[in-house]
Amino acid sequence: VRLSNKVSFCFVLLFISLLTFLSEPLPWAPESLKVSINSTHQCLHLQWSVHNLAYHQELKMVFQIEISRIKTSNVIWVENYSTTVKGNQLLHWSWESQLPLECAKHFIRMRSAVDDATTPEQRFWSNWSSWEEVDVQNSLGHEPLFVFPKDKLVEEGSNVTICYVSRSQQNNISCYLEGVRMQGQQLDPNVSMFNLHNVAFIRETGTNIYCKVDRGDDIKGIVLFVSKILEEPKDFSCETRDFQTLSCTWDPGRDTGLLKQLPQSYTLFESFSGKKTLCKHKGWCNWQVAPESQEMYNFTLTAENYLRKRSVHILFNLTHRVHPMAPFNVLFKDVSVTNATMTWKVHSTGNYYTLLCQVELYGEGKVIQHNVSVKVNGELVLSGLEPDTEYSAQVRCANANHFWKWSEWTRQNFTTVEAAPSEAPDVWRNVKSVQGYCVVTLFWKPLSRLQANGEILFYNIVVEDLDRPSGLQLLSVPAPANRTELTLDQRAYQIHVTANNSVGTSPASVLVVSGDPGDEEVEEERVKGTEDGFSLSWKPQPGNITGYIVEWCDRPRDPLCDLQWKHLGPNTTSTVISSDAFRPGVRYNFRIYGISTEMVPYLLEKKTGYSQELAPSDNPRVVMSNLTSHSFTLSWKDYSTESQPSFIRGYHVYLKSKAGQCHPGSEKAVLSDDSVCCKYKIDDPKQKMFVVGNLQPESFYEFLVTPYSAVGEGPHGAFTKVTTPDEYSPMLIRIILPMIFCILLIMILCYLKSQWMKEKCYPDIPDPYKSSVLSLIKSKENPRLTIMNIKDCVPDTIEVVNKHEGTGKSPTEPEAAKPTYLYLLPAEESYSGPGPCICFENFTYNQAASDSASCGHVPVPTKAPSQLGLLTSSENLLTALEKNCMNSLEEIPAGESSLNYVSQVASPVSGDKSSLPTNPPQPELCSEYKMQMAIPLGLAAPSSSGSSSLSSITLLDEGEHYH
Amino acid sequence: MDLRAGDSWGMLACLCAVLWHLPAVPALNRTGDPGPGPSIQKTYDLTRYLEHQLRSLAGTYLNYLGPPFNEPDFNPPRLGAETLPRATVNLDVWRSLNDKLRLTQNYEAYSHLLCYLRGLNRQAATAELRRSLAHFCTSLQGLLGSIAGVMAALGYPLPQPLPGTEPTWAPGPAHSDFLQKMDDFWLLKELQTWLWRSAKDFNRLKKKMQPPAAAVTLHLEAHGF
């Protein structure tokens, strides 16, 4: 029992001890946990101490920290924080929240454990501290809307969480990023959050984010400053030029874009000396070299801004980073024709270093390089130079032992001294014979710079008469002339030409000019040129030849022609002549001369050709002649084949006709305008006339003459039109012209003899005695016909006609005064007319009528049937006439001023019945002529047919018709 | 009316007109005594020219601030811009202003606005914007001188600035960047409203100085940009 009691007692003690241990805090548990907020950095800052840790004690501990959001069960962060804890030490730990702390409540608690090898028995967690609540919303104030975080500064590519806190649940709130509405996540009825991923730099004034109440004008916003990431400095290097200052440079990289909100700094730190300097500039910094001759330098360049820090390092020996300054005082001395001495100085770098200097000499298009070792002063002899040549020399230096960088170049120019010309001028001549004299034009080419050795001032020409050795003629031509003209007589002369500069004279160029050029007897040969020039060859000449000369003109169409020549050796028999002046379509003439040992040139061959033949550009001017109905002749005598852009091989004559048929000797050709014509080909370029035959008379033709060459023919321009004449025109002209001439002659004669003709043929008053007609009639038909004598006529009426003198009007005009009749015989009652009528008998017409002295004035009978019987006898006829005379007079047109004359000119009163008038006399048509017409006996009005017999003639009353 | 880049031809024409008339502005040329009429006309012309100039400047500056400040219908509440002189005024009150008070209010407003604008210039990040702002400040200084000339011609004394009350445009410690942008927006908007008002003020004065003429109808409104 006692034993069991003892065991029970021990168990109770142990239990009590355990209870005591559990009821008191464990040693080294966290206590006094305080939480503070840094809104700007969105940080929670924790501060605590460790319970019951001795003052001198030091323990390695682990603190487990739990952070919940909105409610304690929503743990969002657990972290173990290990540290060594000393007695009574306040511990700190910070945590940055992604969500702005103002957006939600946060709860924090922690527990601890010993993580120390000395106390392995204590490796279990203490109890959790109580939850510490962090609620910033309570301290925000009473504004209706808040947006967090305020004006945050982040780097590009960061994730940012934004939230708004609204005081009223009823408001509908929209949030915008740069004007674009954002979709959020509601944390609680008053708070929504928005996650922005991978934000980008937009502008230096930041990215605007704002929220506004949909029904209201309240607006709240923040500016999110997004910075471009600070770049690491590139190409960081340092060098010295004077061993006093180190100049360090680097490339800072791109700008962060927020220089105002996020300034960046560059710091240079040298680790051996421990010195540090803040650089004033973004890309370079100077560092004073230590006076104690520090050789090694270890630099750290640090670029830093609020968000990031970047560093680069370099380690170097100062003597390896020497960048010498440019040499100075570059001079040239002892400058001669071919040599010069160049000297220069370098900036002092102490007595320890040797510089390697590089000299470059530019002249005559070449570069010559020299390397020279220099301590302080440099010197270099430049040799092999050309006389009178400008050279440019430049020098630069670098550290000879440890090359780092060349200095800048220092340049200086100099010119070598002149020398006498080294070569004789290249001379050629052109000889013309003018009025018994030789006009020699001397040409020479200017010496090249290398040959001239200075500025050529003048050319000396010595003309030596070979026949008279003493006869010398000296001529000096100032430069830059390249020609001169000499007039010599027909003898042989030797000409010496030398070029002179300020130093001396060149060797002489010798040429012999003989009186006879002897150029004309050589045949011209055609050569074909190419783009590269003309390939010429000639036969080698027997005997001693010092060389050949090929001569041509660069501008053959130009009067001055720009004479060119080329010297060739005695063993050369071919060459290629090329020139930039050669143009396609221009004919070039080449002459090849041989030069004898006596320096006498004589013509060997002539060549002509084109560098490129072109089609003829012009057609000849064609003159057409000998146009007949079957042919015409074309000629173009003035067409020059020499001036054409190619060798003319002949001509094409195109002939267009409507018939379209081509005769033998021509062929059909289709032109570019699809018209068809006949083409005649002329193969001889010298034939400049062509007869186009086999043409049709009165036909239209068109023709064109165009030259052709190896490369084509001339332009098909305008055709000339021609129409062949008809076949008979020439004959007609031969007949008609003489006829016209004859008629004209007759007319002129008639005009000249008009009076005579009038009297003969148509006198104003016919004279029966003079009339040949009467004799003609009398002799043939009626030998009894005679001429009435006026004296035999007894007048019974006188017709008085008032005629106005000078009016010249026709007596038949109605306005003429009416005749007044004076009745000489007693009027009969049957007369109804106003007065008597004087009727002259015309015996020409009717013998019977004249015998009865009846009036020949025969009016149309008013009562034809009743009068018909009367007409059968002369008495009756007279009666009838007398009766009807006045009636008819009424109808006579007045106006005749004189006595009415009875004309017989057109009287049909011949025995020929067929010539009788075909119409009976009409009263209306009563005229002098008709009134006097005597109607032969037995004849009445003729029938309409004119062939009626007497028995069938019937005079009808007026109003009746003739049948 | 929005504050966008305006018609450059109109601006050019206005500039030419102002340059033509500048020698006659009394503030610049006090040799003659043509009376206040021409001075008022020139001040009116200068006001119109500044309106055109501001339209271009504000367009550039608001784009520099970014959306929503460059949006045409953006009309935020006037929160932190209380220190800015207000141009909007009740129509009856405006009508009842006498010439001296009218000119004094204009002079004081532009004095303050010019200081604020210079502060804006100092903050601008781009050189081009700083040049434009500096040019506008110079023009506004000219307008201030022109108003002073009109007041002198009419015999009104210039208002004396109170010592130590030089207005500044520096944000306080609690001033957020977003609010600062709002203030900048309001500064430009208020400046434009003042230029509208000044144009009407000087038009009214101009007609008042002329012989009796037709009645003046005035509509003073302050719409959004």
Chain A residues whose CB is inside 8 A of the B67 CB are 176, 178-179, 208
B83-102 confidence digits (pLDDT tens): 788 888 888 888 888 889 99
pTM for the model stands at 0.54
Q: Does A260 touch chain B (CB under 8 A)?
A: yes
Helix (H) / strand (E) element for A463: namely: strand A456-465
Residue B8 has pLDDT above 60, yes or no: no
Q: Which of B63, B177, B185 to mutate to test the interface with A (most CBs of A within 10 A)?
A: B177
Q: Does A216 touch chain B (CB under 8 A)?
A: no
SS3 A466: coil
Rounded to whole angstroms, the Cα distance separating B59 from B206 reads: 31
pLDDT at A764: 73
Residue A633 and residue A626 in contact, taking contact as beta carbons nearer than 8 Å: yes
CA distances B133 to B19, B128, B222, Å, are: 19, 9, 23
* Cis, bond preceding B68 (omega within 30 deg of 0): yes
| Cα of B197 to nearest chain A Cα, Å | 25
- 126-185 in A: which are within 8 Å (CB) of B? 150-151, 176, 178-179
DSSP A57-97: -EEEEEEEEEEEESSTT-EEEEEEEEEEEETTPPEEEEEE-
| Of residues A830, A898, A813, A892, the one with CA closest to residue A857 | A892
Number of separate helices (H) and strands (E) present in chain B: 6, 0
pLDDT at A820: 57
Whether chain A has a CB inside 8 Å of the CB on B66: the answer is: yes
Peptide bond connecting A826 to the previous residue in cis, omega within 30 degrees of 0: no
Tell me which chain A residues have a C-beta less than 8 angstroms from the C-beta of B75: 217
- Check CB contact under 8 Å for B67 and A151: no
Q: How does A338-370 read in b/e, with b if 16+ C-beta sit within 10 Å?
A: eebebebebeebeeebebbbbbebebeeeeeee
With cut-offs at 50, 70 and 90, classify the pLDDT of residue B153. confident
Please enumerate in sequence order all residues whose Cβ is within 8 A of that of B47, keeping only pairs 6 or more positions apart, or say none. B143, B195, B198, B199, B202
B210 part of contact set with chain A, CB < 8 Å: no
Nearest-CA residue of chain A relative to B73? Answer: A179
In order along chain A (963 residues), what is the average pLDDT of each group of 10 residues?
55 50 60 86 89 76 91 92 85 91 90 77 79 85 85 90 85 87 88 92 91 83 92 93 91 87 91 92 90 84 92 92 92 92 85 84 90 89 90 93 93 92 90 84 89 91 83 87 87 90 91 71 85 88 86 86 89 88 89 87 89 88 87 88 88 85 83 84 89 86 90 87 82 84 91 80 69 60 64 70 52 47 51 43 43 40 38 41 42 41 41 41 40 39 37 36 37
HSE-CB for A817 with a 13 A CA cutoff = 13
Res A755: pLDDT? 81
Distance from CA of A259 to the nearest CA of B (A): 9
Buried b (16+ CB within 10 A) or exposed e, A823-849: beeeeeeebebebbbbbbbbbbbbbbb
Select from A873, A844, A879, A846 the least CA-distant residue to A861: A879
Q: Would you tell me how many other CB atoms lie within 10 Å of the CB of residue B106?
A: 24
pLDDT at A8: 61
Spatial CB neighbours of A294, under 8 Å, sequence gap ≥ 6: A272, A273, A318
The C-alpha atoms of residue A356 and residue A401 are separated, in whole angstroms, by 9
Rounded Cα gap, residues A30 and A91, in angstroms: 9
- Contacts from A305-309 at CB under 8 Å and sequence distance 24+? A305/A227, A305/A230, A305/A256, A305/A262, A305/A263, A305/A264, A305/A265, A306/A153, A306/A262, A307/A153, A307/A154, A307/A155, A307/A227, A307/A230, A307/A262, A308/A155, A308/A229, A308/A230, A309/A230
The distance of B94 to chain A (nearest Cα, Å) reads 27
In a mutagenesis test of the A interface, which of B178, B179, B185 is the best target, namely the one with the most A β-carbons within 10 Å? B178
Res B128: pLDDT? 87
Partner residue opposite B66 with nearest CB, options A151, A178, A220:
A178
Residues 6+ apart with CB under 8 A from A169: A189, A190
Tokens describing residue A841:
């008998």
Beta strands in A197-320 (DSSP E): 207-213, 219-227, 234-240, 245-251, 265-270, 275-278, 284-288, 296-304, 309-317
Average pLDDT over residues B211-216: 46
The whole-number pLDDT of residue A787 equals 66
Q: How far is A253 from chain B (nearest CA, A)?
A: 20
Which phi and psi angles does A694 have, rounded to 5°?
A: 60, 40
Quote the ipTM score.
0.74
B-chain CB neighbours of A223 within 8 Å are: 176-178, 181
- Chain A / chain B CB contacts < 8 angstroms: 51
* pLDDT tens-digit series, residues B18-74: 555 544 444 444 444 556 767 888 899 999 999 999 999 999 999 999 988 999 888
Nearest to A206 among B75, B76, B177 (CB): B177
Test the B interface: residue of A208, A222, A225, A255 with most B CBs within 10 Å: A208
B178 touching A, CB under 8 A? yes
Question: What pLDDT shows up at residue B39?
Answer: 80
Asked if B66 and A222 come within 8 Å (Cβ–Cβ), the reply is no
